[in-house]
Homo-oligomer: A and B are copies of this chain.
Amino acid sequence: MINRLRRYIPVLDWGRTYDRRAFSNDMIAAVIVTIMLIPQSLAYALLAGLPPEAGIYASIAPIILYAIFGTSRALAVGPVAVVSLLTASAIGQIAEQGTAGYAVAALTLAFLSGGFLVLMGVFRLGFLANFLSHPVIAGFITASGLLIATSQLKHILGVTAQGHTLPEMVFSIVRHLSETNWITLVIGVTSTGFLFWVRKNLRPTLKTLGTPALLADILTKAGPVAAVVATTVAVWLFGLADGGVKIVGEVPQSLPPLTMPGLSPDLISALLMPAILISIIGFVESVSVAQTLAAKKRQRINPDQELIGLGAANLGAAFTGGYPVTGGFARSVVNFDAGAETPAAGAYTAIGLAIAAVALTPLVYYLPNATLAATIIVAVLSLVDLSILRKTWGYSRADFSAVAATIVLTLGLGVEVGVAAGVALSVMLHLYKTSRPHVAEVGLVPGSQHFRNIHRHEVETDPSLVTLRVDESLYFVNARFLEDLVQKRVTDGCDVRNVVLMCSAVNAVDYSALESLEAINQRLKDMDIGLHLSEVKGPVMDRLKRSHFIEEMNGRVFLSQYDAWRALAPCPSSKLSE
């Protein structure tokens, strides 16, 4: 019973052995992550089209719930760039930004996403995430990074612009270019340049100056905070808001409120598909991070329990004024590097953010949106990695097509279409590849019991015996291919008397393939040709025995191909092909 509870509530497991050393390590990590998260939470809320406090609220309850239900020791959940973009794209289609309906829809999205994740976890459907191939994910993340960076240009320029696809955004920005607010532009460009410099050069510079590593780390992570403070002070001091610089403005000074997601059937049916998409993308992103970090300490995460942890976090977000969350790459790595030992580190981060929500929010009144946009741009451009195109091109054209299609369609038609097309395309390409499996006609290597491709090796063959080695499982997509192939081979050579299918690489035979084998058997029987199998694997043979195929076969099943050769080749003639 307790063990069963422990499976669902991992905190019962690690909580028992929690000690002082773990506490102090977790605390240090929490301080660093909190400093990093304050500006990031505000910025991602902006990206999602929500009021800034939503970003902070989305980082508090979800972190605590994940600490209770999640299995990763280092994963930090909260708002992340890609999910914020998906949120904006999903809600943008049904409500105006800034309206109450928009915020309620965000809660509903988090609620549906949380419910879906929990259901997937309970029914152990984590494997569904595998339908997203790595190239599709890589292409999608890269394209999302580009989309997000582009979407922030309007804040840097201080103009209003719309659109959820790259062409829409670019056209909209260009149309409004004349309205550029020059003070905003200066703030935005300076902040972006400063943040890039911090990210690239601060740590090495501090190192040459002899700063201790931990301090250098904290200072680097505090870069966005410095930008926030500097630009906020500048706006306040010089009254730049009167000059048209858009600022964050009033942020309520409160702990996360209790909120109720909208549950009208219309809203649910409009947001269900986006919620599923967000869940799966968020889960994939989160689980890869968690797995990588766990491996470094020889720990293991449980993907199905991760679903429950992330689901609980999203349900938490739905009822505390947040929006969809997931495990973020940057924050988790920072958490891990800073020495977090248990999920308690996340809980301390939540406390830090709660204090910020109550005490610090008045201080960001004059914070310019351009600074937040700069932190987003700098963060997401690290997601953009076009090298995946080169890598997949070199490795496999099919994978390359999947990446390229995902990138082009995500940029050109939006995130939902892009990822759906990527998934569909990679499934189609996989099925296409297995629909034309590699099949070798084999002969005996003289003086051995090995059989090799007659077109590659000097082997013995017999004109009356055709042996085909099929290098693929037989299932509906390639069943007819096999029929065609056998038919072609035996109608090409008139003196064929026996056909052997060598099944050493056949891992499964589904019902379609069984019917194809039956059809092949029947057709060969009509032509007075025998059909034989060799080297059939145990599980495949077990299954074939459930049908009448083996009894009705116009031939035999040989344990080894050599047995088949000895039984069926009356007058082998050595043959040298090409």
Contact = CB atoms under 8 A, between A and B. Distances in A.
A471 B472 CA distance: 11
A19 B498 CA distance: 34
Contact of A547 (B134, B299, B395, B434): B395
Interface stretch (A68-76, A264-272, A406-414, A510-518): A510-518
Contacts of A510: 133, 396, 398-399, 430
A426 interface: yes
A547 B481 contact: no
A507 B508 contact: no
A475 B292 CA distance: 20
Contacts of A508: 433-434
Contacts of A473: 434, 472-473
Contacts of A543: 395-396
Nearest to A476: B133
A444 B490 CA distance: 40
B519 A292 contact: yes
B130 A478 contact: yes
Interface string A73-100: 0000000000000000000000000000
Interface in A457-513: 471-473, 475-481, 483-484, 487-488, 490-491, 504-505, 507-508, 510-512
B476 A127 contact: no
Interface in A379-418: 391-392, 394-396, 398-399
A21 interface: no
A487 B291 contact: yes
B477 A537 contact: no
A427 B394 CA distance: 28
B511 A130 contact: no
A472 B507 contact: yes
Interface string A428-463: 001111111110000000000000000000000000
Given A135-B512, A471-B507, A526 B295 contact: yes
Count this chain's copies in the assembly: 2
A291 B426 contact: no
A546 interface: yes
A521 B129 CA distance: 22
A135 B510 CA distance: 10
A298 interface: yes
A431 B547 contact: no
A543 B437 CA distance: 16
B134 A476 contact: yes
A360 interface: no
A511 B134 contact: yes
Given A134-B479, A298-B491, A546 B430 contact: no
Contact of A481 (B130, B132, B433, B488): B130
A437 to B, nearest CB: 7
Nearest to A483: B291
Contacts of A300: 487-488, 491
A296 interface: yes
Nearest to A456: B538
A131 B435 CA distance: 9
A451 to B, nearest CB: 14
Interface in A144-168: none
Contacts of A484: 303
A527 interface: yes
Given A511-B135, A523-B295, A430 B399 contact: no
Interface string A286-328: 0100011011101110010000000000000000000000000
A514 B543 CA distance: 31
A13 to B, nearest CB: 15
B471 A527 contact: no
Contacts of A427: 427, 431
A106 to B, nearest CB: 30
Nearest to A544: B395
Identify which of A133, A296, A300, A392 gathers the most chain B CB atoms within 10 Å of its CB: A133
Contacts of A287: 480
B438 A507 contact: yes
A511 B133 contact: yes
A52 to B, nearest CB: 36
A473 B430 CA distance: 11
A542 to B, nearest CB: 11
A433 B481 CA distance: 21
B476 A426 contact: yes
A519 B287 CA distance: 13
Contacts of A298: 490-491, 527
B395 A131 contact: no
A539 interface: yes
Identify which of A135, A437, A476, A479 gathers the most chain B CB atoms within 10 Å of its CB: A476
A265 to B, nearest CB: 21
A557 B476 CA distance: 34
8 contacts: A127-B481, A131-B431, A131-B477, A291-B487, A295-B523, A300-B488, A395-B546, A437-B507
